Chains A and B, each alone.
Chain A
Amino acid sequence: MPNANVMAGAHRLRHAIRALQDHWRAVEPTWDDSVRRRFQERHLDPIEPAADAAMNGMVKIAEVLDKVRRDLADRSETP
């Protein structure tokens, strides 16, 4: 099972990006001009791909950390 603390971080990031997208969708109908488009292109559009890359990275490192733990933990050790 991938590292739970790392996965919690990935979920928190996913939740944060979804909350932001929800807010943006709510704003769109009330703000429709060239300024909004410039603002979106400059400040919002880059966020989603960056967040996706980060979440993928988190999932990968969570799997690696789980494998490390399984490989190097002593089953007889008390947690």
Chain B
Amino acid sequence: MGTQASVHSIDALKGLRTALALFSEDALAALGAVEMEVKRAVQWVQHDRRAYWQEQIKRRREQVAAAQAEVFRRKLAKTADYTPAYSEQKELLRRAQASLQDAEMRAVLAKKWEPALQQAVLEYHASVRRIKDLASGDVPRAVALLERLIDALEAYVRVAPPSGAVVDGSFDSIANEVLDAEPPPSDTPECVTPDDEAESPS
């Protein structure tokens, strides 16, 4: 490392240190908020929707039966000289049947969404794994490294002859020592960007 170090502003390094710490905090908060939303959705699909739509099927079957009975009752009331109006009852029956069909379709979808959502969540986790590792591990290490660099720089400036803010090669060697002392960077696998989107079951 024969190049001369050139750091013109310790304050700029301090600002970067703060920015990195804030980035780590914000990134982890964003990931945490999304994770909560994903968990809520998984919970909703796995523990709520299937039971809900099964219950709705039962309830709507009863409504269809009641509507059919009403239409039947009206038909029975028909005599030679009296024909009761039952178009409204027929419409109610049609609606009840459509509502039952909708519930049956959604119960099937709920069953299909369970594995599909699980797959989508796995893909999501793969896509955020790297930034999560960086924000929780590498970035705090970078903050600590800057801390040491700033300490070294301030210590150097205290003893060095006043020559503006430019620091010469002595700092360069100190800084490189600090960098060399760092543990090797964690494995940096390719960022996983799942190509296959979760297949919609509908």
Which of A's residues lie within 8 Å of B, judged by CB? 3, 5-6, 8-10, 12-13, 15-17, 19-20, 22-24, 26-27, 29-35, 38-39, 42-44, 46-47, 49-54, 56-58, 60-61, 64-65, 67-69, 71-72, 74
**B34 to A6, Cβ gap below 8 A?**
yes
**B192 to A35, Cβ gap below 8 A?**
no
Instruction: Give me 13 other A-B pairs in contact (C-beta within 8 A), A13-B27, A19-B26, A49-B130 excluded.
Output: A12-B26, A13-B31, A16-B22, A17-B23, A35-B176, A38-B176, A39-B145, A42-B182, A54-B127, A54-B132, A60-B120, A60-B123, A72-B113
Contacts of B6 in A (CB 8 A): 31-33
> CA–CA, A47 to B30, complex, Å?
15
Q: Which residue, of A33, A38, A51, has the highest number of chain B Cβ atoms within 10 A?
A: A33
A23 and B19 contact, Cβ closer than 8 Å, known pairs A39-B142, A61-B120: yes
> CA–CA, A33 to B26, complex, Å?
29
**B22 to A19, Cβ gap below 8 A?**
yes
Contacts of A15 in B (CB 8 A): 26
**B145 to A71, Cβ gap below 8 A?**
no
How many inter-chain residue pairs (CB < 8 Å) link A and B? 193
B85 at the interface (CB under 8 A from A): no
Q: How far is the CB of B191 from chain A (nearest CB, A)?
A: 4
Q: How far is the CB of A74 from chain B (nearest CB, A)?
A: 7
B202 at the interface (CB under 8 A from A): yes
> 1/0 per position for B163-193, CB-CB distance to A under 8 A?
0000000001001100100100100100111
**A60 to B31, Cβ gap below 8 A?**
no
